[in-house]
Amino acid sequence: MTWQQSLVLGLLVALIVLLIQGRLRPALLFSGAVLVTYLVGLADIQGVVAGYTNGSLLTLVLLLLVSLAVEKSRLMSWFAGAVGRGSFTQVLTKVWFSTAFLSAFVNNTAVVASMLGAVKRNPEHSASRLLLPMCFAATFGGVLTLIGTSTNLIVNSFLEKMGARPLGMFDFFMVGAGTLLTGWIAVMLFARRLPEQEGEFDRSQGYFLEAKVSAGSPLAGRSVKENGLRSLKSLYLAEIIRGDQVICPVQPEQELHEGDMLLFCGDVESVGVLQEMRGLELYGEHRLNGQHLVEVIVSHSSRLVGQTIRDAEFRTHFDAVVLAVRRGESQLTGGLGQIELHAGDTLLLAPGPRFAGNKSLSREFVVVSGIEASTRLDTRRSAAVVGGFAAVLAASVFELLPLFKGLLIMLVALLATRILTLDEIRRRFPLEIWLVVGGALALSDQLEKTGLANVIARWLMGEFNGASPLIAFIGIYLFTLVLTELMSNNAAAALAFPMGYQLALSMDVSTMPFILAVLFGASSSFILPYGYQTNLMVYSAGNYRMQDYLKLALPVSLAYSIGVIIMVPLLFPF
């Protein structure tokens, strides 16, 4: 083995060890490894830059940026409404397939975050028995299409770099559909073993929000419990104002009437939850249209102290709408517009375009900060965003327009119409993914140039000496599965792909089964709640314990693997 091969191998081993330890961010590790290859003279500047400007990688970045607008749309709430009522089996089936369908085209994290509220509001069945299946459905849905998850596009970027035919939008759809069915069977059999839990929101640090039951609302004439407004983890109905009558505390059997003013305690995400509830008008909703939310703290010297929110005329003076207010651990009462502001009050604002340029902000507020939440787009703009996104995907599928070009046109349109802003793109730019994938592509280039890829392939051939391609395929799949449980799915795909691809070439068999072994293996993070961000989201929201989580995670992981191992060789022979 040459010194160049030894150096690259040492870098790979160190990279895997450090990724498993999890003390340093993957982006830093991959970028550092690429920097070492450049400093010692293995890589030139053109080779390094080529990794970070790969066409599929840039398409992935554009896709994630455009998906920010899809997150703001009401697409998720439209689908959430389809979950509806019925027996546990019916509701679970609808949650499973609707979540999977969404995740085939929209970022998994955005789907889970948006569906959380709808699932927790289900009035008939325990949220803890639905949240974990919903989370796993998002993972299964991600492997239905090329754009379902970032790992798919990462694998595609490696193929493009190898000069092989890139994957099509639905090339592995049938495999994904097969695993979706095996996963659904496992969920049907084991979901009832999950505990029935209902959490309640801690009001001590919650925002105070107001919403009104509109005329003709489907909520009117039904009780609080029947409307699913009881015992929500992030939203608590504190009181109801009906004319001159104040109903507090609110009982589960309390019937809602048209015109009732509902006062909630909730977290930041509650703004989006209330916007998506049919028949509720959030305070100031007619001025909300996808703005990124801002948090401000009222200064002691502010002229706002002593004024009510309505009298302060935020729209006129600051080009912003007050959505919620928080006052330490004090319990606020009465309508939001009638609350008299105190120094130190925290206000949640939906800003207009002139808000940031207001020169009086530093005088009126101690702190002005953006937070990772946005209001929802109105119905017309939501339909335009969803329709535009669908048109871009359709044009790509029918080869009328390259996906990169379509996404670029859509991003420009989103900026021109202020559905997205440059500030949002700057804050939400997927820098971590870009650095990880670009670094992995640059390292894979060194694997080929130094000949280390062939050395590893010959070693793997020795390990699988006399074994059939099926056994080698299963070995690569299980290797990737273990990696993705120990590190991020993107890093797992980046490390496993060169090995699987070279092994297929050395065995002189079709590379497609091995490509799919990596693609599906990198999306198989079910067993550990900390292995994937959506797992962690529902692990917290459902108040699960580890033993509760594993009751479903283990059979679902087994069902997923069985589906992959059966379907891939069946549809893509060696």
- Asked if 199 contacts 206 with a C-beta cutoff of 8 angstroms, the reply is no
Residue 144 to residue 169: CA distance in whole angstroms? 9
DSSP annotation string for 402-430: -HHHHHHHHHHHHHHTTSS-HHHHHHH--
What pLDDT is recorded for position 370? 65
Does the model's pTM come out above 0.75? no
Tokens of 221: 């004439």
269: left (phi over 0), alpha (psi -120 to 50) or beta: alpha
- If phi > 0 it is left, if psi is from -120 to 50 it is alpha, else beta; for residue 182 that is alpha
Residue 526 pLDDT: 87
Going by C-alpha positions, the residue among 32, 28, 36 that lies closest to residue 4 is 36
According to the model, what pLDDT value does residue 205 have?
55
User: Phi and psi at residue 298, in whole multiples of 5°?
Assistant: -70, 130
Dist CA 278 CA 213 (whole Å): 9
Which amino acid, residue 521? G
Is beta strand 280-282 parallel, antiparallel or unpaired with respect to 292-298? Answer: unpaired
The tokens describing 200, both together, are 């309640």
Please report, for residues 50, 305, 316, 317, 318, the alpha-carbon distance to residue 311 in angstroms, rounded to integers and kept in the order given.
Answer: 58, 11, 11, 11, 13
Residue 232, φ and ψ in degrees, nearest 5 = -85, 140
Q: How far is CA 510 from the centre of its chain?
A: 33
Reading the chain (574 residues) residue by residue, the pLDDT tens digits are 788 888 888 888 888 788 777 678 788 888 898 899 989 888 888 888 887 888 777 887 888 888 888 877 776 666 666 666 678 888 899 889 988 998 888 777 777 766 776 676 666 677 788 889 999 999 999 999 988 888 888 898 888 888 888 888 899 999 999 999 999 999 999 988 888 765 444 454 578 888 999 998 999 999 988 887 865 656 788 889 998 888 888 888 999 999 999 988 887 777 777 777 888 888 877 777 777 788 888 888 788 998 998 888 888 888 888 888 988 767 777 788 888 998 888 888 888 888 878 888 878 887 676 665 666 777 788 889 889 988 998 898 888 888 899 999 999 999 999 888 888 888 788 888 788 878 877 887 787 788 887 787 777 777 776 678 999 999 999 989 988 877 777 778 888 888 888 888 888 899 999 999 999 999 888 887 766 667 766 776 677 887 888 889 999 999 999 999 999 999 999 8
- Domains of the chain (ranges plus CATH)? 208-282 (3.30.70.1450), 294-369 (3.30.70.1450)
Residue 118 phi, psi dihedral angles, 5° rounding:
-65, -40
DSSP string, 347-367: EEEEE-TTSTT-TTHHHHEEE
What pLDDT, on the 0 to 100 scale, is given for residue 324?
Answer: 87
pLDDT score recorded for residue 114: 67
